[in-house]
Amino acid sequence: MERMLQGVSLAVLALALAGGTAVADTSDKRIALSNNYAGNSWRQAMLRSWDKVTSQAVADGVVAAADAFTTAENQVTEQAAMIQNLVLQGYDAIVLNAASPDALNGAVREACDAGITVVSFDGIVTEPCAWRIAVDFHQMGKDEVLYLAEKMPDGGKLLEIRGLAGVFVDDEISNGIHEGVAENPQFEIVSSVHGDWDQAVAQRAVAGILPSLPEIDAIVTQGGDGYGAAQAFDAAGRDIPLIIMGNRHDELTWWKEQKDASGYETMSVSIAPGVATLAFWVAQQILDGAEVPQDLVVPFLRIDQDNLEENLANTEPGGVANVEYTLEDAQAVIAAGGQ
C-alpha cells in the first residue's frame, strides 16, 4: 500500500513537472550551427545573421555558447564527421543546414541517441528524431498568383520565368504557380522560360522569346530573375508588365525607381537568410522544455508597396533582403506549427 502511494505521488510530481512548459533554464546550454556551404551571398548573409543574433543572446545570458561551424568542401562524409565531433564537444543542440536530406541520418541519429537536440532548416534532414524548419516553395509560387488575382480581378496573360531545370526547388515553385492559375482561370500562362535564378540568363531568355509574345500583363518569377526580365522588356521598347520580384537588391532598387517615377506597383517574396536565427530560437525553445512540433514551416519574407523603402535600406548591394528573427517570432512559428 505504501509503495503504491509512493508511486502515485511520483506520478503526480512527474505530471506537475511536465505541465509547466518553458521552465528549464537554458543559460548553461550550448548550441552549435553545422553548415555545409558558405560560397554564395545568401549563405554569407545567413552566417552574419547567426553571428549577430547569437552573440547578443550569449551576451544576454540566454545561452552559454552558439558557435558556427562550416565544412570546407560541402561533402556529406565531412559533415557527418563534424556532427559527431560536435556531439563529443558536448553541445546540447545542433542547428543543421544539411548537405543531404538523407545521407546524414546516421550521424543525426547518433546525436539524438546522445541526448542532443537537432534542428534542421533550409537543407533539412529526414531522420524522424530531428526537427525540421522547411520552406514551402509550393505555397510561395501559389502566393504570387493569389496576389495577382487580388490586383487584377479581370485576369490576364502571364509569362513564367522558371529557375534551374531539374532542381527540386524549381519544380515546387512552378507547381505552386500552376496550381494558383488552375484555381484562378481568368489567368493564362502564355509562355515559360528558364532564367536559372540569374539576371543575365533571365534577360537573354526573355529577350529571345519576347517578339513572339502577345501583350503580357504580369510576369511570375522565382527570384533573382525579375530585374533581367524588366531590362529585356525595356530594351525591346515594350510596356513593362507587373513583375513579381525576389528580394534581390537590384530588383528592389529598380522597383523603387519605377515606383518613384510612375507609381509602379508589385510585390516581392523570398526566403530570408536570417532563417538560421529562427532555427536558433527554436532550438533554444526546445532546450527550454517547450512543446515543439517536429515539422515547422518558414515564414516568407514578403515586401509590399508600403514597406519597400524600409527593406531596401536594410539590403546590402548585391545581396538579398534579410530579416533576423526574435524569440517571439519563433514562438509564433511554433504555435502556428502546432495547429
Partner 1 sequence: MTRVLLAPRTLRAILPAVSLALLLAAIFWLQPRTMSYTGLNLMLNLAIPIALATIAQMFVLCVNELDLSIGAYVGYVACVTATWLVDNPPLGIAALLAGILVYAGLGALIHLRNLPSIVVTLGMSFVWLGVAVLILPRPGGTSPEWIRWLMKLHTPVVPFPIIAATVIAVVVHVALMRTAYGSILRGAGGNPRAIDRAGWSLLKIKVVMFALAGLFGMLAGMALIGLTTSGDANIAARYTLLSIAGAILGGCEFVGGRVSPAGAVIGAITLTLAGSFLSFLRISPDWQIGATGAILILVLALRALINRAEERR
Footprint of partner 1 (CB under 8 A): 67, 69-73, 75-78, 80-82, 84-85, 87-90, 100-107, 109-110, 114, 168
Question: Shortest distance, CB of residue 233 to partner 1, whole angstroms?
Answer: 36
The end-to-end CA distance of the chain, in Å, is 43
Q: Which is nearer to partner 1, 89 or 186 (CB)?
A: 89
Q: Which is nearer to partner 1, 80 or 216 (CB)?
A: 80
Question: Shortest distance, CB of residue 100 to partner 1, whole angstroms?
Answer: 5
Q: Which is nearer to partner 1, 102 or 150 (CB)?
A: 102
Q: Which is nearer to partner 1, 7 or 90 (CB)?
A: 90
Question: Shortest distance, CB of residue 76 to partner 1, whole angstroms?
Answer: 5
Q: Which is nearer to partner 1, 22 or 114 (CB)?
A: 114
Question: Shortest distance, CB of residue 78 to partner 1, whole angstroms?
Answer: 7
Angle, helix 327-337 to helix 275-287, in steps of 10 degrees: 80
Distance CA 230, CA 195 (A): 13
Question: Shortest distance, CB of residue 165 to partner 1, whole angstroms?
Answer: 14
Least Cα distance to 297 among 138, 93, 102, 156 occurs for: 138
Write out the three cell numbers for 37. Answer: 556551404
Q: Which is nearer to partner 1, 27 or 77 (CB)?
A: 77
CA angle 69-76-67, nearest 5°? Answer: 10
Question: Shortest distance, CB of residue 248 to partner 1, whole angstroms?
Answer: 27
